[in-house]
């Protein structure tokens, strides 16, 4: 068994998004990556793609997910699954913080669609 203690959870701040790494290959998981996300009000994520499906469980607030041009607002207590290779972006359209718990298979490859290199250390 691998235990990830509170003090050992790495965090990354990305322009209004705070990512907290939980399970990942560098922290002992061979098959799954999970991370906690805190999105400031108005935070807007870049368009991107993943080669594996993404599961997002919204814990607080409302998260707007756009998949292949279709918007959906997902509230606390709800979840969404984005299929592999779909064009996606995620934002917080609300006036309060939104949080989520996310999961993807280990080894996922991500690609930003705005010509900026993808930087996802919480998945490593």
3-state SS class at 6: helix
Q: What is the pLDDT of residue 118?
A: 81
Tell me the pTM: 0.92
Reduced to 3 states (helix: H, G, I; strand: E, B; else coil), residue 33 is strand
What's the CA gap between 58 and 110, in Å, rounded? 21
Positions in the chain whose pLDDT score sits under 50:
none
Give the whole-angstrom CA distance, residue 19 versus residue 35. 7
How far apart are the C-alpha atoms of 44 and 97, rounded to whole Å?
A: 12
Of 57, 72, 64, 68, nearest in space to 43 by CA: 64
Q: What is the pLDDT of residues 26-57, one digit of tens each?
A: 999 999 999 999 999 999 999 999 999 999 99
């Amino acid at each position: 068994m691998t235990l990830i203690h509170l003090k050992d959870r790495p965090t990354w701040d990305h322009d209004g998004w705070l990512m907290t790494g939980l399970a990942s290959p560098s922290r002992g998981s061979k098959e799954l990556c999970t991370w906690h996300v805190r999105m400031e009000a108005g935070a807007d994520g870049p368009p991107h793609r993943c080669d594996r499906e993404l599961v997002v469980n919204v814990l607080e607030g409302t998260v707007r997910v756009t998949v292949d041009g279709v918007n959906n607002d997902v509230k606390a207590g709800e979840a969404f699954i984005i299929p592999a290779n779909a064009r996606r972006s995620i934002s917080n359209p609300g006036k309060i913080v939104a949080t989520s718990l996310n999961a993807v298979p280990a080894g996922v490859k991500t690609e930003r669609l705005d010509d900026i290199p993808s930087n996802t250390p919480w998945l490593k």
